[in-house]
């Protein structure tokens, strides 16, 4: 199967059936074996911090062999020796989310009952399912309590669900660039990405494993996603409008293949490698999990949803994040305050956009001081 699994990833297989939250056509859905992939760093005797990843990341949050190479892992600037999530002080674990393609069970996993990848026969995955699968691994590892759960974007969804589902197990939750529900903008852009994948001529209703993979559709989906990850202001700063070719658009029948602007070239640059590595069905499943995440709908109201939370909560957002604007974090704060919970919001003054939590300079200069304080109190 396609996999972004790193060589250090450990995959634990559980023989007991795993039951999913969402019924399909009135039927309970299960898989006979659950696989959960994870990596960990630090002393096993130290307090445990769980890192939950965002949509397209994986278990490889940091690389201790290359602590200053931010291209080898996705959160090295946050996780590692002397970083905010300090692997010298904490036992840090990162788990691949259920439905992904980094080693944990998902549509690319081979169904032991058929000998073929599940494809679209894999059960519908909720954020709660992801968290329950992570808790099974925590129990297997003998972990009795989490010092903190931290995650960005979809990882923040998981952090909130950890606080709700296992209030006695978690001391702190830190949703970063996240929310308690998907707003209409997310729902619309996720729909475009799903349609881009499923409209690819080789998608074959998700059963493409014996032939060509729908890389073109996945690449287009990734380009759509990327346009939501940085702010319009940052796009103007990042990209120049000078044409890279003196050919005029519409000069010939092949004009649509000419990348005339730096921004166009960059979209192609970031999407093509991703489309060769990630599983398209996994992208569909994770986008659907994101789209249907809404704690108020699941629990009745947002205030009722967060009522079980006992963990101290710090929400981190950024002023320039147009995908997860700050108001979404303040919605969670107000719901927690209604229940007299210990909570705060840290708003980072930065115009980068949603991906601010992955940018080394922003992490080191603007996030780390708040996070170090919160983890130590």
Instruction: Select which of 6, 60, 292, 354 is catalytic.
Output: 354
CA nearest 83: which of 97, 64, 65?
A: 64
Cα separation, 3 vs 362, in Å, equals 29
Tell me whether residue 294 is one of the annotated catalytic residues: no
Please give the Cα distance from 275 to 83 (Å, whole number).
Answer: 31
* Catalytic hit among 63, 86, 279, 321: 321
Return the sign of the alpha-carbon dihedral for residues 109, 229, 323, 189: negative
Active site residue 354: yes
Active site residue 321: yes
Q: Which of 133, 153, 182, 271 is catalytic?
A: 153
How far is Cα 122 from Cα 286, in angstroms, rounded to an integer? 12
Which residues are tagged catalytic?
153, 321, 354
């Amino acid at each position: 199967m396609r996999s972004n699994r790193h060589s250090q990833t450990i995959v634990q297989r559980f023989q007991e059936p795993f039951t999913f939250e969402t019924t399909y056509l009135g039927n309970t859905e299960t898989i006979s074996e659950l696989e959960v992939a994870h990596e960990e760093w630090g002393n096993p005797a130290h307090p445990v911090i769980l890192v939950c990843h965002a949509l397209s990341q994986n278990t490889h949050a940091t690389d201790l062999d290359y602590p200053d190479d931010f291209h080898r892992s996705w959160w090295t600037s946050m996780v590692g020796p002397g970083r905010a999530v300090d692997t010298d002080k904490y036992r840090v674990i990162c788990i691949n989310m259920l439905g992904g393609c980094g080693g944990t069970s998902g549509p690319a996993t081979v169904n032991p009952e058929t000998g073929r990848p599940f494809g679209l026969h894999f059960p519908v995955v909720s954020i709660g399912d992801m968290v329950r699968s992570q808790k099974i691994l925590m129990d297997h590892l003998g972990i009795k309590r989490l010092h903190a759960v931290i995650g960005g974007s979809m990882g923040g969804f998981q952090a909130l669900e950890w606080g709700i589902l296992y209030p006695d197990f978690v001391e702190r939750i830190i949703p970063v660039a996240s929310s308690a529900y998907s707003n209409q903008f997310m729902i619309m852009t996720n729909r475009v990405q799903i349609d881009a994948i499923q409209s690819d001529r080789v998608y074959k209703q998700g059963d493409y494993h014996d032939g060509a993979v729908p890389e073109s559709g996945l690449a287009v989906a990734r380009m759509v996603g990327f346009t939501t990850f940085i702010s319009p202001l940052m796009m103007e700063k990042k990209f120049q409008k000078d044409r890279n070719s003196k050919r005029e658009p519409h000069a010939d029948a092949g004009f649509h293949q000419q990348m005339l602007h730096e921004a166009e070239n960059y979209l192609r640059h970031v999407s093509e490698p991703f489309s060769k590595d990630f599983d398209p069905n996994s992208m569909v499943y994770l986008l659907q999990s994101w789209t249907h995440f809404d704690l108020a709908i699941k629990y009745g109201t947002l205030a009722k949803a967060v009522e079980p939370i006992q963990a101290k909560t710090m929400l981190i957002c950024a002023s320039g994040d147009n995908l997860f604007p700050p108001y979404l974090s303040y919605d969670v704060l107000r719901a927690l305050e209604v229940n007299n919970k210990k909570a705060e919001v840290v708003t980072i003054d930065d115009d980068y956009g949603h991906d601010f939590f992955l940018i080394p300079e922003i992490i080191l200069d603007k996030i780390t001081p708040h996070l170090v304080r919160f983890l130590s109190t």
